[in-house]
Structure 1
Amino acid sequence: MISLDEVERDTRVLTHAEAGECLHNLGKCITLYEYAYLNLDASDRGLTDISMIASFKHVRYVNVSGNRLTSEALCALETIPYLQTLRADRNCLTSVELKPMPYLQELTLNWNKLTDTSGIRHKSLERLELNHNDIRTVNVDPQILVNLRILELRGNALISTAGICCPNLTRLFLAENQIEKIENLEVLVNLTTLHLRSNKLANLDGFTEQCRSLNYVNLRDNELPRISELKKLDCLPNLETLIVLGNPFLSEEKEEKEYRRIILTMLPKLKRIDKDLVLDQERNEAKVLLKKIQKNKSKFEDFDLRD
């Protein structure tokens, strides 16, 4: 039999009085004729029941991170009519599914127990953070998430970029997954920033000229064996910054002194490689090297630093 002490310890309900203490930022309501508290921060309280928050109809920002909430418990917030930001990091959520919330613009569910992305149906959503879960596949509806600009999926279990198909996305963070294959990037015509650090990429097939806005690519700590793979990024017309440290083709110190010049020969529009800006001297040396390659009818594969 469970003792009362155990029940009290296992169930932690947010009371009306405690919720009132969590309110701050007095401002105008949506009607503009009355004032109410717009923010509610009930983070790090060990809560299992937050249904009381739904009684505060005018809040626009809610933070319930660091509690013990299940997906069912989080659904209590679905009825808040004007909610714009919801933070529910570090809980026990197993599903992202909530009823459509028409004003919700930012949703963060980092450090939970999520395994997929099905059920996100908030048309105004602009930023979605699902970092450090156990998500293996991405399934979102681009017809619904038409306003999504920033998507963070760091530290999950993705093996591919497939399923990320929101055409208005501008920033995509996929570091610390198990990604081996780049797919469906042709849909992301507005993407400017792509973070793929600490994955398992051994080739760069999948990049396309349709990623015409992409100017920053981070490939640090992947498994690229040959520097000539970077030539495949030549299809990106606006690429300016490329991060490649920590790949096998840079494993020897003597090679690091020359790799920037070789990369510039393949990708002459770059303005920054790894930590440093491209110098005029480097750019001139790359031009000389390119002329030598053309004169000798060489291939970029001839400059691979490792077999």
Structure 2
Amino acid sequence: MTQLSKEDILKNNNTHDPNSITALSLNHKALTSLSCLGDFKNLERLDLSFNSLTSLKGLESCFNLKWLSVQKNKLQNLKGIEALTNLTVLNAGTNKLKSIDEVKNLVKLRALILNDNEIASISGLDPLKDLNTLVLSRNPIRKMGNSLAKLKSIAKVSLSNCQLEAIDPSIKACTELEQLRLAHNDIKTIPAELAYNKKLQILDLGNNVISKWSDLEVLSSLHNLKNFNLLGNPIAEKVKLLKKIKKLVPDLQIFNAKRMDQLNRTQTDKKNGDAAFNAVDDSNLLKKKSKADGQTFMNSDAVPENTKYMDSEEHFGKIEVNKSRELAKGGDCVDATSNKFEKRNVDQMKKKHRMSEARQARGRELVAGLDDARNEMKQQKKRKEKHAEKEVEIQDADKGTEKISKRKARKADIDVIDDNETPFAELFIDDAQENMKSNEGKGKGDKVPGNIDSLSALVT
């Protein structure tokens, strides 16, 4: 394929002056060289993602760059960016980088995204005093060391899917830290030093090997914690975990990727369900006992052999008539004592039968009451869900945002932890595309400002 030339870029942007272009999107161009960019000295934003670059040499002349994406190339190092001292955002994710030494000169850098590389250690970050966001997920990093100790402005750190064995105590120096994502590692304990990170709002420790109750005690110091994940840890299997977390972090909103109000409803429903199950069991026992009592009456010696059923007082009366007829036919003389004994047996059977019917009636009333209670609970749940949905729509309207779908709203509420860096990468790409479009059709003398403020959602 023919390599992209300077002339092609000028033609595509409807201009003859390379200095009039401040933003370029050159993704998916099969680029292997950057020689075509030598004259674009006023570039502030450049998207080179999804190409075949093995080197960044050729970018030296683009010293005004503030925003650069070279993700999904074939880079083994970042040589060529040392002179880009105005960079505030660098995305070099999904390459073959083994180190990040070249970034130490980028003193204005605020967001550094290096996920899915081959970086084994963190170094060279000390000069980056303004660094706010660091993404190193899916790299073979075993130790954090004190690499973050001097990053006083760091607020978002993602080291998920690495090979970390511990959270270094030096993390306490990151007093501005708000998000810490360390899922899918080999972390065994939560250090007490984490208590110094008072501003922490999101803590993802899912799929590690944390097992001790004592590790959770530090959470009581994190008063701003809103989202906490422990799924996939041995401790997550403990029955009383939710109760413990609620006690330690009473203001927590999301736990193990579920809203706390949902977890509370589930817990309440489970309790009510267990109570209903036990009540139904009691009712079934009553029925069985009643049936057993009836069977006992049927097998009693006091009941004549020719009597096959007894379900009302009328049947008991028939028993007496039949017995009298049989006695008359046989010509037997029944004395007063015998008649009195038989009458007493019949009275006892009637009494037992009435008690059995009363127990069955109470059982039926209990089951009916439980059914009504279940239906009422379902109706209340539906009303609460409907009310919550209306509140989401009202809040969105007040903020002047576009109305989003319920599915996206739920995903935003749950805040799926570290979903391939969605909070970082998508913002990064979408912001670039928007600015690239705004640059189309600009002629000589028309410059698109490098609106770094639009990245505030990403880097602040």
TM-score range, shorter chain: 0.7 to 0.9
Partner of 2:52: 68
Amino acid at match of 1:236: L
Q: Please say if 1:106 is aligned against 2:92.
A: no
User: What does residue 292 of structure 1 align with?
Assistant: none
**Counterpart position of 2:155:** 170
Displacement of 1:64 in angstroms is 1.1
Q: Which runs of 5+ in 2 are unaligned?
A: 268-460
The question of whether the paired residues in 2 share the 8 Å contact of 1:131 and 1:155 is answered with yes
Tell me by how many angstroms 1:229 deviates.
Answer: 1.8
Q: 2:166 aligns with which of 181, 185, 193?
A: 181
Once the two structures are superposed, the pairs formed by residues 252-267 of structure 1 within 5 Å of their partners are 255=238, 258-267=240-249
Higher relative contact order (CA 8 A, sep 6+): 2
The percent of aligned pairs where both chains have the same amino acid is 23
Amino acid at match of 1:69: L
The residue correspondences of 1:29-48 to structure 2 (distance < 5 A) are: 36-48=20-32
**How big is the shift at 1:261?**
0.8
Instruction: Tell whether the 8 Å contact from 1:22 to 1:41 is kept in structure 2 after alignment.
Output: no
Q: Are residue 77 (structure 1) and residue 67 (structure 2) matched?
A: no
Matched, 1:132 2:122: no
Unaligned residue ranges in structure 1 (runs of 5+): 1-8, 286-307
Measured after TM superposition, the shift of residue 138 of structure 1 is: 0.5
Cα separation, partners in 2 of 1:170 and 1:93, compared to 1, 3 Å: same
Call closer, same or farther: CA 1:149–1:281 in 2, change over 3 Å.
closer
Question: Structure 2 counterpart of 1:89, which letter?
Answer: Q
TM-score by length of 2: 0.52
Matches within 5 A, 1:145-160: 145-160=128-143
**Alpha-carbon offset, residue 246 of structure 1:** 1.5
Give the structure 1 partner of residue 198 of structure 2: 212
* Partners of 1:114 and 1:134 within 8 A in 2: yes
Q: Where do 1:149-298 residues align within 5 Å? A: 149-162=132-145, 163-165=147-149, 166-183=151-168, 184-205=170-191, 207-251=193-237, 255=238, 258-279=240-261
Say whether the 8 Å CA contact 1:23–1:39 is kept in structure 2. Answer: no
Question: Which protein is richer in helix relative to its size?
Answer: 2
Moved more, 57-66 or 232-241: 232-241
Which stretch has the larger CA shift, 225-234 or 186-195?
225-234
Partner amino acid for 2:102?
G
Do the aligned partners of 2:223 and 2:249 also contact (CA within 8 Å) in 1?
A: no
The whole-number CA distance in structure 2 between the counterparts of 1:134 and 1:281 is 39
Cα deviation digits, residues 78-105 of structure 1 (max 9, x gap):
2213111111011121123432323211
User: Could you say if the C-alpha distance between residues 177 and 17 of structure 1 is closer, same or farther in structure 2, counting changes exceeding 3 Å?
Assistant: same
Please name the residue that 2:8 is paired with: 18
The Cα shift of 1:264 comes to 2.1
Offset, 1:178: 0.9
Cα distance in 1, alignment partners of residues 191 and 183 from structure 2? 16
Number of corresponding residues: 259
| Distance in 1 separating the partners of 2:70 and 2:29 | 12
Within the candidate set 42, 46, 55, 2:39 is matched to 55
- The 1:59–1:114 alpha-carbon spacing in structure 2 relative to 1, beyond 3 Å, is same
Per-residue displacement from partner, 1:50-77 (whole Å, max 9, x unpaired)? 1211211122111111222123xx1311
Letter in 2 for 1:178: Q
Evaluate the alpha carbon distance shift between residue 79 and residue 281 of structure 1 in structure 2; reply closer, same or farther with a 3 A threshold: closer
The secondary structure found in structure 2 opposite 1:19 is helix
Partner letter of residue 88 of structure 2?
Answer: Q
- Once the two structures are overlaid, the 10-residue window that deviates more, 221-230 or 51-60, is 221-230
SS, match of residue 231 in structure 1: helix
Question: How far apart, CA to CA, are the structure 2 residues paired with 1:271 and 1:133?
Answer: 33
Mapped to 1, the partners of 2:218 and 2:228 lie a distance apart of 13
Structure number with higher strand proportion: 1
SS, match of residue 197 in structure 2: coil
The CA deviation string for residues 270-297 of structure 1, in whole angstroms up to 9 with x for no partner, is 3332233334996xx9xxxxxxxxxxxx
- Which of 1 and 2 has greater Rg? 2
Distance 1:205 1:158 in 2: 19
Tell whether the 8 Å contact from 1:102 to 1:122 is kept in structure 2 after alignment: yes
State the one-letter code of the partner of 2:175: V
In structure 1, how many angstroms separate the alpha carbons of the residues matched to 2:261 and 2:225? 17
Alpha-carbon offset, residue 237 of structure 1? 4.1
